[in-house]
A and B are shown apart, each in its own frame.
Chain A
């Protein structure tokens, strides 16, 4: 009978432990996609910019790994990552863009101001592709292998320190 009285304390100690541990962890609000390792869903998007073709999932199955960049002209961190995307392109990575909920003129304006690293840009007006691959915000960059499988997800804007990592992932996907 005596041990019962210790149950509330034991439960409280458990709570203290978990809370104390969690307080030391950085609060990360990112919701990672659970589609890593899965093939891309079927999609066929109209071109978002006049000078680049549209995008479909079949394009990813040509044997070369690519970077899939989810972005939008109304997204401010995308401005910050534009130079890094350009660096990636110059290092040999092929970057394909999916513009979320964007008008052609806004896309064109953004690309004119900040550069265009994309080989193709699809317009995702209803966030269908975004939902389909488990992306929950902009910007995000995915590494897709040559068979159209999602290998890696980078959440947030691409910064200088992420460039080598993404290139490495692309190389790994090649093999």
Chain B
């Protein structure tokens, strides 16, 4: 019953999307017809119906209804409740339902709340949103039905995969999906504006909160994914330029560029073509990413639901939506491209550099990720990994960061470098000073060195825009910018520090032996078996002391699950302000004089946590900027409303006085 209700709701939502599409495009020509009046309610109800369908799916998973195929293949009655729920989106069909739900809800929210744009543009935007939604509804209903029933209810579910039963992994997909789908809203806005030729600052102001929101979620999703991989996979790697990791990074890069571009458009009516193109590109990257990970076309650790048939469906959707939008862009871009002019040395100029660099980095990552696909068409197999991505993206990241240190200090439209002489000199001094110190004190590779130097300078430079301003009356959006840029510096520092200063120790130790890594001394107290709900493990007790201080206990485990048969490692971390000790226990390594010896892997990673603190700071900056804009908007509406009221009162008085 529940499943049927969910499916019915989904069909209804799809029907409403079709209605929204037709009405939207009719309304874009003539906003005063009756059809046009249906668009907003249709969007809102569609959102609610989808949400209902998703809640039904959650319910099915919560009660482990084994007559539903999806539950039978992906869940298990012995799973802890929180993981039962997160299992709802931890599979292809469920995650696609989540995607369409978020999209429909976002569409409903725009329909309910957005009043700034000309009605024609809103109609076109909602029509475009419905157009994109229909493709996904079709995908879900015809090829990936989450509510499909089994002819016979299964006896027990299959889905007790241990690696998915982790709280970090439970939240990673939803945050990323909110990000990807938020970008679909930006896409719809861009297409709507293109169709009605209304690429104006108002359009940018309407689109900006959505881009900010999506971007914040993407930042959080990528940060969470990176940290999860770091502690769960057992060797302390936090980024591998794996195709699926890149699939989440590429929309983020495009969204960052879009964010900045939209700000320029909103403030100065410049960079119109850039903003539209980035709006289309950002969502394209979301969809390309979805395609890459679900079609099985690239070799990746994340490869899930590898089904070429589903891949083909998504590819067709891609062709229609992105191809269509790009054709629209190509034919109309020249008519919207004339914006305000600005000098090279200006904030717009700096943001153009930012845009261009981000797009170049996006191009590099795209190239590197898709190149193996291209060569495989010629039966040649290559691998493209960190040794390519790191240096090549650095070519563009370094100039971007340098400009980022000075850009926020420049004025709009036209500025002179002499005016910002003092801050530039300070930044240059920090750059050179840090470089000198590092060259003397340590021997690290070029890239980590550059990273440390740029991070130090950027950290200081991000606070320079606060110079000489009244901090209590500073707009929240400016605080957002400062904190986000500072967060980037912190993350960069963490990345560079980990690359430059990590130390690793492999040791076969018996109980009572000591292994040393960096300033830590680690003693193995013993190894004994432990058991959990669906696993057994060998747990090592380690006593780690930093620089001769008090020992901390660490308990890494090597776990064996039995349904399905799988082995995992649970790493043990000791976190200090200046880094983390990462300990993993492996197999028995023969016997020494002191008894059985165990393979111990230890890493000392200085400042590695800054990577994720930085990511969180960046997201926080985005949240502040978003709130700042929202409060501004609310304030403006209140002021407008009050003004309108006052004018109405005055008109009344005048009329009354006229009569008297």
Binding site for B on A (CB under 8 A): 1-2, 5-6, 8-9, 12-13, 15-16, 18-25, 27, 29, 31
Interface SS majority for chain B: helix
Contacts of B288 in A (CB 8 A): 15
For chains A and B in complex, what number of residue pairs have CB atoms within 8 angstroms? 62
Smallest CB–CB gap between B234 and chain A, Å? 22
Q: Say which residue of B277, B306, B319 sits within 8 Å of A8 (CB atoms).
A: B277
Contacts of A1 in B (CB 8 A): 334
Contacts of B295 in A (CB 8 A): 19, 23
A12 and B326 contacting across the interface, CB-CB below 8 Å: yes
A5 and B329 contacting across the interface, CB-CB below 8 Å: yes
Minimum-distance CB pairs A-B, first 7: A9-B326, A5-B333, A5-B330, A6-B330, A23-B308, A22-B297, A8-B326
B373 and A8 contacting across the interface, CB-CB below 8 Å: no
Bound together, the chains give a CA A1 to CA B337 distance in angstroms of 11
Contacts of A15 in B (CB 8 A): 288, 370
Q: Which of B209-217, B345-353, B374-382, B600-608 contacts A (4 or more CB under 8 A)?
A: B374-382
B376 and A22 contacting across the interface, CB-CB below 8 Å: yes
Smallest CB–CB gap between A143 and chain B, Å? 21
- Look across to chain B and name the residue whose beta carbon is closest to the beta carbon of A21: B377
Q: Say which residue of A12, A18, A25 sits within 8 Å of B323 (CB atoms).
A: A12
Question: Does any Cβ of A come within 8 Å of B596's Cβ?
Answer: no
Contacts of A18 in B (CB 8 A): 370, 373-374, 377
Given A21-B377, A22-B377, A31-B381: A2 touches B334 (CB 8 Å cut-off):
yes
The digit string for B300-338, where 1 denotes a CB below 8 A from any CB of A, is 000000101001100100110011001101110110000
Contacts of B381 in A (CB 8 A): 31
Bound together, the chains give a CA A109 to CA B226 distance in angstroms of 46
Question: Does any Cβ of A come within 8 Å of B482's Cβ?
Answer: no
B318 and A16 contacting across the interface, CB-CB below 8 Å: yes
Bound together, the chains give a CA A151 to CA B333 distance in angstroms of 58
A16 and B315 contacting across the interface, CB-CB below 8 Å: yes
Contacts of B281 in A (CB 8 A): 8
> How many chain B residues touch A (Cβ–Cβ < 8 Å)?
33
Smallest CB–CB gap between A11 and chain B, Å? 9
Q: Say which residue of A6, A8, A29 sits within 8 Å of B299 (CB atoms).
A: A29
Bound together, the chains give a CA A23 to CA B377 distance in angstroms of 10
Contacts of B297 in A (CB 8 A): 19, 22-23, 27
Contacts of A12 in B (CB 8 A): 284, 322-323, 326
Smallest CB–CB gap between A142 and chain B, Å? 20
Q: Say which residue of B277, B323, B329 sits within 8 Å of A13 (CB atoms).
A: B323
Interface centre among A15, A16, A21, A31 (most CB of B within 10 A): A15
Contacts of A24 in B (CB 8 A): 308
Bound together, the chains give a CA A15 to CA B291 distance in angstroms of 12
Smallest CB–CB gap between B185 and chain A, Å? 20
Bound together, the chains give a CA A13 to CA B315 distance in angstroms of 11
Contacts of B330 in A (CB 8 A): 5-6, 8-9
Question: Does any Cβ of A come within 8 Å of B296's Cβ?
Answer: yes
- Look across to chain A and name the residue whose beta carbon is closest to the beta carbon of B280: A8
A20 and B323 contacting across the interface, CB-CB below 8 Å: no
- Look across to chain B and name the residue whose beta carbon is closest to the beta carbon of A6: B330
Bound together, the chains give a CA A1 to CA B273 distance in angstroms of 13
Smallest CB–CB gap between A6 and chain B, Å? 5
- Look across to chain B and name the residue whose beta carbon is closest to the beta carbon of A31: B381
Smallest CB–CB gap between A56 and chain B, Å? 29
- Look across to chain A and name the residue whose beta carbon is closest to the beta carbon of B299: A29
Interface centre among A19, A21, A22, A27 (most CB of B within 10 A): A19
Bound together, the chains give a CA A24 to CA B296 distance in angstroms of 12
- Look across to chain A and name the residue whose beta carbon is closest to the beta carbon of B319: A16
Contacts of B284 in A (CB 8 A): 12
Smallest CB–CB gap between B348 and chain A, Å? 20
A19 and B299 contacting across the interface, CB-CB below 8 Å: no
- Look across to chain B and name the residue whose beta carbon is closest to the beta carbon of A20: B315
Bound together, the chains give a CA A2 to CA B332 distance in angstroms of 10
Bound together, the chains give a CA A119 to CA B377 distance in angstroms of 41
Q: Say which residue of A5, A9, A19, A29 sits within 8 Å of B373 (CB atoms).
A: A19
Bound together, the chains give a CA A9 to CA B297 distance in angstroms of 22
Smallest CB–CB gap between B555 and chain A, Å? 31
Smallest CB–CB gap between B85 and chain A, Å? 33
- Look across to chain B and name the residue whose beta carbon is closest to the beta carbon of A3: B330
A19 and B291 contacting across the interface, CB-CB below 8 Å: yes
Given A16-B319, A16-B323: A23 touches B311 (CB 8 Å cut-off):
yes
Q: Say which residue of B318, B323, B334, B376 sits within 8 Å of A5 (CB atoms).
A: B334
